[in-house]
A and B are shown apart, each in its own frame.
Chain A
Amino acid sequence: MGRSDCDETMGRGSDCDETMGRLSLYLDRELSDDEVGEVKVHLQSCPPCEQVFDFQAELKRLVRKECCTDDAPARLRAWVRKLAVENTEAAK
């Protein structure tokens, strides 16, 4: 992971460890506003950690993009539409 880079270039800060430990939570938007601010400040000042962040963020986008390519078949779509219409009429 990026910490070895931080070790070499930044003198291994505990901030690097903390940021790497929070990186997935940050990418998943699971941190508080204060925590987000702390991570952002560190990433802006630490290129090695920012590099890990960029890579992981792109990987997350890639997984989503590649797994969102299957649309429901027309037959299934029509079946669900029919069900919705039937239930709409039944609810009237």
Chain B
Amino acid sequence: MVVLGIAMDGEFSLFERHIDALYRSALRLTRKPEDAEDLVQETYLRAYRYRRKFQPGTNEKAWLFTIMTNLFRNRLRQRRAPEDPLDEPGTDFFIYDQLRREGMPVHLMSPEEIVVDRGFGDEVKRALEELPMPMRMVVMLVDVEDFSYKEAAAILGVKIGTVMSRLHRGRRALQKRLWEYSGRPRPSIAVGGHA
């Protein structure tokens, strides 16, 4: 039996089962294990403190992420670190476009062999952590944690259009960095067009 997100009869609570998702996301936001642990702890303290506001049967993962992202943004504001915007016009297909431009046989290549199988370890995580914060949060929520646009918008307190815009620019910037990590040449011409 589960009451207010708390474990009964020795079961894991609704809140506890999301600890890995919260921790890895906290890592992507803070980039430091000790700061990530601290952020997750504070998230859980708040979750239990305000647990009566949580409605059982609703999305507890989204509720926890709302708490965590709000806490993190408050910390950023206190440190006066700007949530730097990054304007990356173009399509969501940066890597694919580059391969096509290089005349590579894209149908014979997988993203994994292009990005990962080149002797690097954590290039995808590193690329995500290097995104400007607004885009990092959206890519993390949608692409890693599988939240819908609507859920991500509710978690971040922004419009769905804003989520889509940040997601688009974030993905593009992410792919651009992965492309650079892969050791391939920097694009010599503007990308995004395809006519």
| CB <8 Å contact, A67 and B45 | no
Known: A58-B110, A62-B124. A4 touches B194 (CB 8 A): yes
Would you list which residues of chain B between 143 and 195 have a CB under 8 Å from chain A? 143-144, 146, 148-149, 167-168, 171, 174-175, 194-195
List residues of B whose CB falls within 8 A of some A CB: 3-4, 6-8, 12-13, 15-16, 19-20, 22-24, 27-28, 33, 37, 40-41, 44-45, 48, 51, 91-93, 95-97, 100, 106-107, 110-112, 115-116, 122-125, 128, 139-140, 142-144, 146, 148-149, 167-168, 171, 174-175, 194-195
List residues of A whose CB falls within 8 A of some B CB: 1-4, 7, 20, 23-24, 28-30, 51-52, 55-56, 58-60, 62-64, 66-73, 75-77, 79-81, 83-85, 87-88, 91
Residues of the B chain whose Cβ atoms lie less than 8 Å from the Cβ of A64 = 143-144, 146
Which residue in A56, A76, A88, A91 is a CB contact (below 8 Å) of B37?
Answer: A76
Which residue in B15, B37, B144 is a CB contact (below 8 Å) of A63?
Answer: B144
- A interface secondary structure, majority: helix
| CB <8 Å contact, B143 and A3 | no
Residues of the A chain whose Cβ atoms lie less than 8 Å from the Cβ of B41 = 76, 79-80
How far apart are A36's CB and chain B's nearest CB, in angstroms?
A: 15
Residues of the A chain whose Cβ atoms lie less than 8 Å from the Cβ of B37 = 73, 75-76
Residues of the B chain whose Cβ atoms lie less than 8 Å from the Cβ of A28 = 142, 148-149
- How many contacting A-B pairs (Cβ < 8 A)? 131
Which residue in A70, A77, A79, A81 is a CB contact (below 8 Å) of B24?
Answer: A70
| CB <8 Å contact, B149 and A68 | no
Question: CA separation between A64 and B12, bound complex, in Å?
Answer: 25
| CB <8 Å contact, A84 and B6 | yes
| CB <8 Å contact, A51 and B106 | yes
Known: A30-B148, A51-B107, A88-B7. A83 touches B142 (CB 8 A): no
| CB <8 Å contact, B27 and A70 | yes
| CB <8 Å contact, B24 and A3 | no
Question: CA separation between A87 and B124, bound complex, in Å?
Answer: 37
Q: List 29 A-B contacts (CB under 8 A).
A: A1-B93, A1-B100, A2-B194, A3-B194, A3-B195, A23-B92, A30-B149, A55-B93, A55-B95, A55-B106, A58-B112, A59-B111, A63-B124, A63-B128, A63-B174, A66-B116, A66-B124, A67-B28, A70-B23, A71-B24, A72-B20, A72-B40, A73-B33, A76-B19, A80-B44, A84-B12, A84-B15, A88-B6, A91-B3
